[in-house]
Structure 1
Amino acid sequence: MHLKKQFIYVLKLIPALLKEENWTAKEEEIVGRHFKKLQELLKKGKLILAGKTDGLDEKTFGIVIFEADSEEEARKIMNSDPAVAEGIMKAELSPYRVALMRESV
């Protein structure tokens, strides 16, 4: 049996978007597509968890924990995230392994 590998990518907004007044309808639309992409990964059974910290400052970040067959596939998933592809968020990919997780959230 082939076990899928787990990965995490950590997302950080570009510095200009840490000020709420710099957000436009364009950024809101990109974030909407970012969320839709994560929902698609969930439906495909690839997404394990996604979320973000509260607030909007230099400490704000999001995480996406998911499964992929290879690092190449994981990188493709991360780079196709609209927030990353369109440059409003920077992302860093790492191999990951969920050790413990409660059954229901």
Structure 2
Amino acid sequence: MAPEGKKHFCYRLSLREDLRDFKNWTEEENQTIGVHFNYLKGMLEAGKLVLAGRTENMPMTDKDMGIAILETDTMEEAAEIMANDPAVKSGIMTAELFEFSLALYR
């Protein structure tokens, strides 16, 4: 349940196909993932991110994903946060945004 005036959104992240094998990663891509993590951490500290995480299957497949649950005023704001995610901006990951209903949580 979002606070009054706020809505929840989920963006699903998919890793670029060639990067599902970690031996294909460059130092630049590894650094970008660190920036991506810090970006999400900043969204958490700003009260915009509810949670973020990823699946951990090895080897990775097209079914693996990351998710970020956002709490924002509008879908446009959530879309802007998603579009500015360094992993998305760099092309390491693609992302898709969904309206999300948070029903049960601890």
Taking structure 1 as the reference length, the TM-score comes to: 0.92
Which residue number in structure 1 is paired with residue 48 of structure 2?
46
Q: How does 1:1-105 map to 2 (within 5 A)?
A: 2-55=4-57, 56-102=60-106
Percent of counterpart pairs with the same letter?
Answer: 46
CA deviation map 1:23-44 (0-9, x unaligned): 0111111100000011001111
Task: Quote the offset at 1:88 in angstroms.
Answer: 0.4
RMSD: 1.2
CA deviation map 1:13-63 (0-9, x unaligned): 011101111101111111000000110011111111100000333221100
Number of aligned residue pairs: give it: 102
Unpaired runs of 5+ residues, structure 1, are none
Task: Answer with 79-88 or 50-59: which moved more.
Answer: 50-59
Unpaired runs of 5+ residues, structure 2, are none
